[in-house]
Each structure stands twice: as C-alpha cells, then as structure tokens.
Chain A
C-alpha cells in the first residue's frame, strides 16, 4: 500500500483519539469510589486524614486516619498504578476508629480516605502529598 499524506493524517488522528479516550488516573479513583459507595453523596468533616505535606521517600509515607463513628475506612492514592491502598474495618472494641500505617506513593498525588459511617452515610477527606522520590519501582 502506498502511504499518501492524506492516509498518514487519518491514521495519526485515529491513534491520537484512542490515547485521549483512555481514562485518566484521577477518574479511575473516582470510579472506584463510586463503585464502593454506590454513587451516594460524600459528606466531609468527620474524617481527619493526617499526612506529611512533603514526603522525601515515596516508598514509605506515614499516613494516619481518624474517623469517629466510622464502620470502615478505605484509602486511595490517585496517582499510583493501582489506586487502592487499604481498607480498615473497625471492630466493636475499637473506640477511636483511628489507624496509622505507611504507604507507597509513585509520585506527587492526592490521598483520599472514604469512610462508611455507622448510620450508612459516607464521608471523604483528601490530602495532597508531594513526593520527591517515587516508590513503585519502574
């Protein structure tokens, strides 16, 4: 097949369209949250998400979350190859509904905490963390 300038333009436009059509990472997180909550509206204020402003090493970033009255808390990192981080289900003996752990972050991004409260409503908190060295290999 002879490749004319016109054909070249058509194929390159099609290739570009398919790239643009891919979902961005941020919307992948939104989709996961919508899947978790079933599209319920997200309140805010009941969750305290404690993160460093700048993390020098993305391999181990300390994160703590407190959500009084929460049944479970799910953490997401919207710039990671897989946005899911962890889900904490609190038992009857846990009074403060708080947990702290260390997570990996590939780059500067938002960490999102979504909590299901005991009355079935949903709460969300979001913090940006600046990462100087990424933590997901490569």
Chain B
C-alpha cells in the first residue's frame, strides 16, 4: 500500500445553533497519497472548505470538529493539544486561501510575512529567514524577488499575491498543502500559471489537497477526486474514471453543466432545485429532492457509500456496480 500523507477518517464538524447543530461535515473520509493531488469538488456550502479547515485545525468559532481521526504522516493529530497542533501548521501542513487580496496582512511587508513562517518553525536569525523568503519567492516564480519582498500586499497584483501565499505555505517544505479555491479570484491566464506552479510543487514531492468548485481545475490538476454534497462525500474516484463514468446523479449534473458550456449548446444544463438546508435534510438521500431518477426508497433511506468499482465509490442506491474491465 502506498504511503498516505493524509488520511482523514469519519470527519464530522458542525455549527451549533439555537435550532440544533448544523452538520456541515458528516462522516467524511479522505486519503491523500504521498506525491499526489487530490481534489474535493462541490457547490458552495457543501462543506468542502470546512473539511479543509477541520484538517488544518482552523475552525472558526462557533464551528467545531465533532468527530473523526486525522492521520498526518502516520500520526493521528486530531486529538493533539492545540500547542502541538500549532507546531504542525506551516511546517508539516500548510494552507492557501481563495482570496489573495485579503489573505495577506495589509500592514506588513510580504517578505516579512513569509519570513515569519520560517522563524516560527526554524531557529534562525531574522536575516536568514528573510533570505529564505526571497529564495522561496524565486522558487514560486516571482521575478525581482528581493525588491518584491519589500512591498506591501496592496502594491502587488492578484497573481503575485497568490504566489506570495504559496511561497509562505511552502517555505518550510510541508508534506501537505491544502489549497482552498486557490485560483477562483484570479483571471484565466494567471490561473494557468498558478496551476502549473502547483503541479511543479507536487512533482517536487508535496502532496496537495485541492478544494474547488471548478471541475476544469480539478480535471487539469488532480489524480483523484472526492465529490461532496450537503456535508457528505457522494462519490469518489480517479479523475479519469470520474469524468468518464460518473456514477452519482449529482456528479453527472455537475459534469453536464460544464459540458453544455463547452459545447456552446442552446441551453445550459443545470441541476434542478437548490442546495438543501443542512438543518432540514430529507430523511433519505440528501440529493433526492433534486434528483431526476429519484425512487421511493431514495426518499426514505440514506444510501451507503458503496464501492462500485475498485477505487470508485458512490453514495447512490441506483449506481450500477461497474463490470470489471
């Protein structure tokens, strides 16, 4: 069995409210094998960002993790005290965010912000940390790195800022990088550059967990994909299999929406209905209300995440077990 950089088992996270707990992440298990890029795809609000935050230990109060194990490089970190958990952040696992405009501290020079990460995890002088930051800037393709390091965030373009974020995340050479919608806020050409940079990082040995709602990005970058809906994994497969043989009606809906765009068809294929309220999920399959193929049992019984082919699982009563081929 290949070594796993990250193995999350049965993750649960929720937000307590007066009307009860919102179960935003429900029994989610994710594996990120070493040296691979694993994607999580889904609509906004499906719980993919919270899954990422739960793994990082960056839940924003009042949201909290309620269960599950997180194995990082063979060690369960979910129950570590905060102090030890913190020591892992930035050194063994890092995260970059969707909005490079607001993810950098506006009143601190960007070089300093990267050097800060160095000084938090390595006992080095300020000069040395600064030097490593500039080095990292060069590594993520920031030209004129030394002078850029002395800039404030507002003086840099969006693409440069995301490169700074990546530099900051990678400067301590973590095994795992979690990227939460890293290119959503960027224009297409910059997006391509950033994706190439991430590919290179992966080739250099970093495992990446990529969160995106964009199937195009997922298709370009990922080796293996999880599809999330209403806090649950509804399907998981290798990227080619998922795109070729989607087993869950939700995945199919997502793919149709994209391909109808590609084809330039007269009509945009969309998924009917809206994302359900997590406080009032239907009794059976969460997707049943929006599903064209919904049957009686779908409305009553929550389907299991079943393996329908090796490495391919789906949470659907109707998903055909694929023939061995």
- Whether chain B is bound by chain A comes out as no
| Residues of A that sit less than 8 Å from B by CB | none
